[in-house]
Amino acid sequence: MAWSHLGSCFLFICSLLALVSGSQIQRTSLPIISFDEGYTQLFGDDNLVMYRDGKTVHLSLDERTGSGFASQDLYLHGYFSASIKLPADYTAGVVVAFYMSNGDMFEKNHDEIDFEFLGKIRGKDWRIQTNIYGNGSTSVGREERYSLWFDPSDDFHQYSILWTNSQIIFYVDNIPIREVKRTESMGGDFPSKPMSLYATIWDGSDWATNGGKYRVNYKYAPYVAEFSDFVLHGCAVDPIEQFPRCDHTESSQAIPTGVTPVQRIQMESFRTKLTTYSYCYDRARYKVPPSECVINTKEADRLKNYDPVTFGGGRRHHGKRHHRSRSSRAEVITI
């Protein structure tokens, strides 16, 4: 039994590593830009620092402020990517985000596509969260959370978003970890308006680590997140006319159009082993899964064993409860 378990884990890790090795070819074939070519500082004053001739940016969080940057253009669909190295050691309460949003233009009906990295106490791992909102549907919440097969604070890893009119795919080192297909029943809940790309580091003490139990400890500050290998390859949109200007270049051939058969096997393996939360299986929130959910029995069985109350629909004990931050960017469920 033990050998069988170790063997399956070994095969899983080897298959992931094989696909990661293949991703390096694709990464170099995509147009990588300098920071100044595509981004501008959003906030944080000197907590944003550029290195390597503008090819790498450090964002830091200290007692004074966090920091962040935003794309110079709005985009309607495309492939967006960055290599990120997260802060090490004690990072409880720290949130690093790499995401798309148009909240500054559409305050009450904004769209959003999120990667969020949730800090940790010593001995625990960083958690990665993905989420999407469409047309201000923040009350629904389409969160998923995962463990990773590596320590994201040890080295740079590539995090990518593919956004088209019909689907959204999240990638880690070219491995698709989540696919959201647009359905007619979703209506405006699928992101469909031009968005900017953002990266931020900020204090999420109220919710990010164990529902706010562990807060940012500034004796470990500054917390530094590093960003490099910037890819902004999409249809830029005029902010006034809202008309997309698509640049069809040869490099477009390197952008994925969907999940390949090999990647689908890898994605299923990742999801059935490393997913720790998915709204589609949360019986405490949704008695009936939202219409876009495609139920995978392996995922469902694993999550039900992981947390029978949340994913099995049983009664909740020991005072565990839902937690929602006041910020729309921090709407998660404590598990």
Q: Enumerate the active-site residues.
A: 112, 116
CB 232 within 8 A of CB 80: yes
Residue ranges with strand state E in 67-149: 67-71, 74-85, 94-101, 112-118, 127-133, 144-146
Distances 100 to 40, 133, 161, 217, 251 between C-alpha atoms, Å: 15, 10, 9, 28, 22
Using CA atoms, how far apart are residues 102 and 115, in angstroms rounded to an integer? 15
Alpha carbon distance 171, 175 (integer Å) = 5
195 secondary structure, DSSP code:
B
Cα–Cα distances (Å) from 238 to 20, 161, 219, 254, 328, in that order, read 36, 21, 44, 25, 26
**DSSP symbol at 278:** E
> Closest Cα to residue 62, out of 201, 207, 208?
201
Q: Which of 322, 74, 82, 64 lies closest to 216, judged by CA?
A: 64
Residue 233, amino acid: H
